[in-house]
């Protein structure tokens, strides 16, 4: 039976070719850095501890190669040589934890080269603490890294990610420098993101921790008091006690999870629309985790500097490099549109013509603005086709003067239902079917009319601006028809499905689910040792999007 030492000798020998190729590819100056020399020119920009730990690792690899070769040639190892192998075997395990080029066909190479996270963690502390990181690579040596957004990387460019297992002393700034100086592969390292991200325990950290502790204490106290009062059948009285009961998990759970007949005039299909919209959002954001190399750490860093913009609900103003928690732009946008809504509502109060005219004028102004911005900045129709993708977020995507037409249409739909919803106007069934066909046709067109564009077809600036303008208006018409038709009784089986009481708890939790879904996605998609890979749209939807959406609702409940 092969002993542990023999197994390690054989395992070491299997990696000798790779180790020797690595050390052989090093130039003399590079070898000075990593194999013991002192080249201050090339060592500049890298921490001293990182240089020292990297040298220890490379020296251990060399020792392993030399001693294991000697052991195999002589067909035996002395106790001293066995001890040397034992002491330095960590270096080979560290190397084995690196991401590896897959043995697939040329046309099947993935964008992510996974390593072994568990193996990297297992050897941590042997010589130094290790950190499992991903290098963000672009094809070609000495390639330029497109800079845009909070992560410093263009969201439209193609990046590769390769896992590394290096000393924890090598931070995210050191790793790209190390890789680019070695130049072992035809890539340029642009950034690095590590699993161990130090959290500074400053006054903000402790202040928020105390706030959470106080809130949890209030929830527990309120829940216990509520339970005791209900068990003893004592009615809560007094202002302070009623305020305390507002924090009772017991009482709030009953309200959130209740399924009951709604009052007259309630738009029953809205609960299902909220849930389906949430599923749509989570699905879209799930796909974004396949594209950018990092989605959370830059947000954490910008939150430290620009938290006040979120507090004032203006975080959708300015560039994406100041974005604190990506999905929060919608909260700012919704608040801003809410503040200007009274202009339309007051007009509707005086006259439906005045209110509709104001909404129409605002929508036309928005459409003209989009055409002007597209002509100036050469913007794309979406994030996958031709045009200046880097400016799409900053100039168009989450600005209130661009997003206002659907909001204005929603105000008009609400006014229509308030005026005529209780009358339940009857229309011929053939007209209702035609309305549903037309509405679904608009919705499908919005989703699929960019198929050739996303495949590489070039669209003119006018075509891109036209799509961006009227796809949102067409989608708003589709949603408006669904709401009106279901509420007026023109929906048939669709209304029976969308107005079912089972949607009520999900509808109540949708806002909180939206708030937490990005954190949920980040956690859920990173609990595995390996990164998620795209095999098919159906696979991503079933295995990632649906579970992440359900988990978001569970976390939203708590």
What is the number of other CB atoms lying within 10 angstroms of the CB of residue 150?
A: 21
Could you tell me whether strands 187-194 and 112-113 are parallel, antiparallel, or unpaired per DSSP bridges?
unpaired
Which has more pLDDT, 501 or 158? 501
Lowest mean pLDDT among 45-49, 243-247, 486-490: 45-49
Question: What's the pTM value of the predicted model, to 2 decimals?
Answer: 0.79
**Residue 203, pLDDT score:** 82
Say if CB 268 and CB 499 are below 8 A apart.
Answer: yes
Please compute the mean of the pLDDT values over residues 198-204 and round it to a whole number: 77
Say if CB 136 and CB 155 are below 8 A apart.
Answer: no
Q: How far apart are CA 263 and CA 265, in angstroms?
A: 6
Q: How far apart are CA 282 and CA 276, in angstroms?
A: 10
pLDDT tens digits for range 434-443: 999 999 999 9
Tokens of 544: 């990632």
Lowest mean pLDDT among 70-79, 411-420, 492-501: 70-79
Write down the residue that tokens 């035809």 correspond to. 186
Q: How far apart are CA 488 and CA 498, in angstroms?
A: 13
CA–chain centroid gap for 47, Å, is 31
**Residue 557, pLDDT score:** 92
Confidence category of residue 151, pLDDT binned at 50, 70, 90: very low
Of 148, 256, 163, give the one whose Cα is nearest residue 509: 256
Which residues lie below 8 Å from residue 59, measured CB to CB, with a gap of 6+?
35, 36
**How many degrees, rounded to 5, is the angle at CA 438 between CA 470 and CA 432?**
135
Sheet of 187-194, strands arranged across = 112-113, 160-167, 130-139, 187-194
Lowest mean pLDDT among 54-58, 71-75, 276-280: 71-75
Please compute the mean of the pLDDT values over residues 293-308 and round it to a whole number: 69
DSSP codes, 188-220: EEEEEEES-------HHHHHHHHHHHHHHHHHH
For residue 28, pLDDT beyond 50: no
**Residue 44, pLDDT score:** 63
Burial 72-98 (b: 16+ CB within 10 A, else e): beeeebeeebbebbeebbbbbbbbbbb
Confidence category of residue 291, pLDDT binned at 50, 70, 90: low
Confidence category of residue 414, pLDDT binned at 50, 70, 90: very high
Tokens of 287: 């796909």
Q: How far apart are CA 236 and CA 544, in angstroms?
A: 45
Which DSSP state fits 141? T
Q: How far apart are CA 247 and CA 433, in angstroms?
A: 47
What is the number of other CB atoms lying within 10 angstroms of the CB of residue 233?
A: 6
**Residue 139, pLDDT score:** 82
Please compute the mean of the pLDDT values over residues 123-136 and round it to a whole number: 88
Please compute the mean of the pLDDT values over residues 328-357 and round it to a whole number: 94
| Long-range contact set of residues 11-18: C-beta below 8 Å, sequence gap at least 24 | 11/92, 12/64, 12/65, 12/68, 12/85, 12/89, 12/92, 13/68, 13/69, 13/72, 15/92, 15/95, 15/96, 16/65, 16/68, 16/69, 18/95
DSSP codes, 148-183: -TTTTS-TTS--EEEEEEEETTS-TTHHHHHHHHH-
Lowest mean pLDDT among 199-203, 335-339, 526-530, 542-546: 526-530
Which residues lie below 8 Å from residue 120, measured CB to CB, with a gap of 6+?
94, 97, 130, 131, 132, 165
pLDDT tens digits for range 480-509: 999 999 999 898 899 999 999 999 999 999
**Residue 29, pLDDT score:** 40
Mean pLDDT rounded to a whole number for the chain? 83
For residue 221, pLDDT beyond 90: yes
**Residue 522, pLDDT score:** 84
Confidence category of residue 32, pLDDT binned at 50, 70, 90: very low
Tokens of 123: 């050897």
> Residue 494 burial (CB < 10 Å; 0-12/13-18/19+)?
middle
**Residue 411, pLDDT score:** 96
Confidence category of residue 148, pLDDT binned at 50, 70, 90: very low
Q: How far apart are CA 33 and CA 179, in angstroms?
A: 12
Confidence category of residue 23, pLDDT binned at 50, 70, 90: very low
Of 490, 498, 443, 479, give the one whose Cα is nearest residue 271: 498
Say if CB 443 and CB 475 are below 8 A apart.
Answer: yes
Q: How many residues are recorded in the chain?
A: 558
Which has more pLDDT, 461 or 158? 461
Most confident segment among 180-189, 279-288, 344-353: 344-353
Which has more pLDDT, 66 or 479? 479
For residue 347, pLDDT beyond 80: yes
Number of alpha helices (DSSP H) and beta strands (DSSP E) in the chain: 24, 4
Q: How far apart are CA 10 and CA 6, in angstroms?
A: 6
For residue 406, pLDDT beyond 90: yes
Please compute the mean of the pLDDT values over residues 85-99 and round it to a whole number: 88
């Amino acid at each position: 039976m092969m002993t542990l030492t023999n197994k390690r000798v054989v395992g070491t020998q299997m990696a000798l070719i790779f180790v020797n190729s690595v050390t052989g590819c090093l130039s003399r100056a590079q070898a000075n850095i990593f194999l013991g020399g002192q080249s201050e020119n090339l060592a500049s920009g890298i921490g001293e501890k990182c240089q020292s730990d990297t040298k220890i690792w490379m020296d251990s690899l060399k020792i392993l190669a030399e001693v294991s070769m000697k052991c195999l040639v002589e067909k035996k190892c002395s106790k001293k040589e066995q001890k040397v192998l034992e002491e330095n075997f960590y270096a080979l395990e560290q190397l084995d934890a690196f991401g590896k080029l897959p043995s697939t066909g040329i046309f099947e190479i993935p964008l992510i080269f996974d390593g072994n996270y568990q193996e990297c963690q297992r050897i941590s502390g042997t010589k130094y603490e290790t950190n499992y990181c991903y290098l963000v690579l672009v094809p070609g040596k000495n390639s330029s890294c497109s800079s845009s957004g909070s992560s410093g990387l263009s969201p439209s460019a193609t990046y590769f990610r390769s896992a590394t297992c290096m000393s924890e002393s090598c931070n995210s700034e050191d790793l790209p420098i190390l890789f680019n100086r070695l130049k072992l592969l035809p890539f340029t390292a642009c950034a690095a993101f590590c699993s161990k991200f130090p959290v500074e325990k400053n006054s903000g950290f402790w202040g928020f921790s105390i706030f959470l502790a106080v809130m949890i204490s209030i929830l527990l106290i309120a829940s216990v008091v509520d339970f005791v009062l209900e068990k003893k059948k004592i009615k809560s009285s007094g202002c302070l006690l009623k305020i305390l009961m507002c924090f009772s998990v017991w009482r709030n759970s009953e309200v959130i999870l209740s399924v009951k007949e709604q009052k007259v005039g309630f738009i029953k299909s809205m609960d299902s629309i909220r849930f389906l919209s949430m599923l749509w959002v989570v699905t879209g954001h799930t796909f974004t985790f396949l594209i950018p190399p990092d989605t959370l750490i830059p947000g954490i860093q910008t939150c430290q500097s620009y938290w006040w913009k979120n507090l004032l609900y203006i975080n959708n103003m300015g560039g994406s490099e100041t974005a604190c928690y990506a999905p929060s732009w919608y909260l700012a946008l919704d608040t801003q549109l809410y503040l200007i809504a009274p202009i339309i509502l007051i007009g509707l109060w005086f006259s439906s013509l005045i209110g509709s005219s104001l909404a129409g004028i605002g929508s036309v102004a928005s459409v003209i603005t989009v055409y002007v911005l597209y002509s100036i900045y050469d913007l794309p129709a979406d994030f996958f086709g031709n045009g200046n993708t880097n400016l799409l977020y900053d100039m168009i995507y989450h600005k209130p003067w661009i997003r206002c037409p659907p909001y204005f249409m929603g105000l008009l739909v609400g006014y229509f239902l308030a005026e005529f919803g209780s009358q339940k106007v009857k229309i011929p069934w053939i007209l209702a079917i035609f309305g549903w066909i037309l509405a679904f046709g608009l919705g499908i067109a919005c989703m699929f009319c960019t198929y050739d564009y996303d495949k590489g077809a070039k669209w003119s600036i006018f075509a891109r601006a036209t799509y961006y303008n009227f796809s949102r208006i067409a989608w708003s018409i589709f949603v408006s028809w669904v709401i009106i038709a279901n509420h007026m009784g023109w929906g048939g089986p669709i209304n029976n499905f969308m107005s079912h009481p089972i949607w009520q708890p999900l509808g109540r939790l949708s806002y909180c689910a939206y708030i937490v879904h990005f954190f949920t996605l980040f956690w859920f998609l990173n609990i595995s040792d390996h990164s998620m890979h795209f095999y098919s749209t159906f696979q991503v939807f079933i295995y990632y999007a649906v579970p992440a959406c359900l988990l978001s609702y569970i976390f939203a409940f708590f």
